[in-house]
Amino acid sequence: MDADGDFDLELKRIMDRREQETLYFNIYGRIEVHEWLMKDVVRVKAFREAILHNESFKNKTVLDVGCGMGMLSIFAAKAGAKKVLAVDAASITDFAERIAKDNGYGGVITVIRGKVEDIELSSDIDKVDIIVCDWIGHCLFSENMLDSVIFARDKWLSAGGHIYPDTAQLYLAAIRGRDQDLGFWHDVHGFDLSAIRRRCESKAVLEHVTGGQVMSKVCLVKSLDLYTVQRQSANFRSFYELKVTRNGWVHALVAYFDVGFSKTAQRISFSTSPCAPWTHWNQTVFYLETPLPVNAGETIKGVFGMKASEESIFDLQFDIYVDFEGRQKSVTSQQSFVLSNSLALGGV
């Protein structure tokens, strides 16, 4: 491709990204999206306990990245922060400013409309002491908020400053589930719609998985320390080994994560494990083309690969290799999946 062609392709990519960002921030301007997040008791309780009764916030300058309605900013202000800068590019900032004033924190919380990558702080603020942000997406990395936190950390966080939350671990396990009944698409009123079947097979699914479905021990595939992690950390490959714990069928692999606030006296954390209380993140399920008949003591192993989508700021792409040698059956396979953020589609 010539130079003009390269330029046109890059320009199209930039324009596509801007259109996606506009859609993204329009969605997060909707009150019902924030209502959905606020109703996640596990999420709100963890942030409240990590911030509200934390001596570290007293007389500190706090940056709230992606503030939404400003609840984390209010927690920080109530915890004694001297100044809170609440940043969000969505129109929800109109409500964040009003809510701060209605609760008596208008003099502490300053709401800034814009992407954190594009804004500048007031001239009297060179560094911040603390960054708070709910940067966590489905399968930990969707929506790419982590890169915004890293940008803010590198530009504004003072030496020895704190990030809330600051640790995370992504795990993989084997589960029994349901047989995907996709044969319907082979013959729909006499027509072959198997292209739809192939699309469904390649989608990672957000589901509520219960502890009773888990068929193996878990395996850590990614760990994050927000003081050292670098951009594009969603792009990685990890070997995994899953020790089967009981006899039955494995229909899918499931990914879930734990998140921690290490700068709290109680080491506050929460989990999206199938064995933990429900959160709005649910779990991410990867259905296997061939279910595995397993026996306790057998091992499912392979490679789990993830990367941010090149086409959508909402999506993640996965390549999962499975190598299983069981008493009843041996399977070696490779499947590719896409995880589309439900909010990107306008849902909650």
Question: What's the pLDDT score for residue 314?
Answer: 77
Question: What's the pLDDT score for residue 11?
Answer: 42
> Are 109 and 184 contained in the same domain?
no
> Are 113 and 215 contained in the same domain?
no
> Are 106 and 190 contained in the same domain?
no
> Are 79 and 121 contained in the same domain?
yes
What tokens were used for 258?
A: 């734990």
Helical packing angle, 71-78 and 93-102, nearest 10°? 30
CATH number at residue 213: 2.70.160.11
> Are 125 and 233 contained in the same domain?
no
Question: What's the pLDDT score for residue 25?
Answer: 72
Is 97 part of a structural domain of the chain?
A: yes
Is 184 part of a structural domain of the chain?
A: yes
The separation between the first and the last C-alpha atoms of the chain, rounded to the nearest angstrom, is 41
Question: What's the pLDDT score for residue 242?
Answer: 98
pTM over cut 0.75 = yes
CATH number at residue 120: 3.40.50.150
Residues in the chain: 348
Q: Residue 114: in which H helix or E strand, if any?
A: none
Is 221 part of a structural domain of the chain?
A: yes
Residue 113 belongs to what domain range? 3-134
Domain end, chosen from 78, 113, 134, is at 134
Question: What's the pLDDT score for residue 7?
Answer: 41
Cα(184)–Cα(205) distance, integer angstroms: 19
Is 162 part of a structural domain of the chain?
A: no
Question: What's the pLDDT score for residue 315?
Answer: 87
CA-atom Rg of the chain in angstroms = 22
Is 160 part of a structural domain of the chain?
A: no
What tokens were used for 180?
A: 């995907």
Domain end, chosen from 90, 113, 134, is at 134
Is 107 part of a structural domain of the chain?
A: yes
Q: DSSP 3-state assignment of 215?
A: coil
What tokens were used for 181?
A: 């009944």
Is 181 part of a structural domain of the chain?
A: yes
Question: What's the pLDDT score for residue 346?
Answer: 37
> Are 129 and 172 contained in the same domain?
no
Find all residues with CB under 8 Å of 81, minimum gap 6, and list them.
57, 58, 59, 60, 61, 62, 108, 130
> Are 9 and 113 contained in the same domain?
yes
What is the residue-wise DSSP string for 9-65? Answer: HHHHHHHHHHHHHHHHHHHTT-HHHHHHHHT-HHHHHHHHHHHHT-GGGTT-EEEEE
Cα(319)–Cα(39) distance, integer angstroms: 33
Domain end, chosen from 109, 134, 159, is at 134
> Are 188 and 253 contained in the same domain?
yes
User: DSSP class of residue 281?
Assistant: T
What tokens were used for 167?
A: 């640790």
What is the residue-wise DSSP string for 129-158? Answer: EEEE----BTTBTTT-HHHHHHHHHHHHEE
> Are 286 and 216 contained in the same domain?
yes
Question: What's the pLDDT score for residue 180?
Answer: 52
Is 142 part of a structural domain of the chain?
A: no
Q: What is the mean pLDDT of each run of 10 residues along the chain (348 residues)?
A: 48 64 76 85 97 95 96 97 95 93 97 93 92 96 91 97 98 84 52 53 88 97 97 94 97 98 95 97 95 97 93 88 95 94 44
Find all residues with CB under 8 Å of 165, minimum gap 6, and list them.
46, 50, 136, 226, 259, 260, 261
Question: What's the pLDDT score for residue 34?
Answer: 78
> Are 186 and 283 contained in the same domain?
yes
Sheet with 330-339, strands from edge to edge, namely 236-243, 299-308, 316-325, 330-339
> Are 118 and 250 contained in the same domain?
no
Domain total of the chain: 2
Find all residues with CB under 8 Å of 321, minimum gap 6, and list them.
302, 303, 304, 305, 333, 334
Cα(128)–Cα(121) distance, integer angstroms: 10
Percent helix, percent strand, percent coil in the chain, to nearest 5: 30, 35, 35
> Are 85 and 40 contained in the same domain?
yes
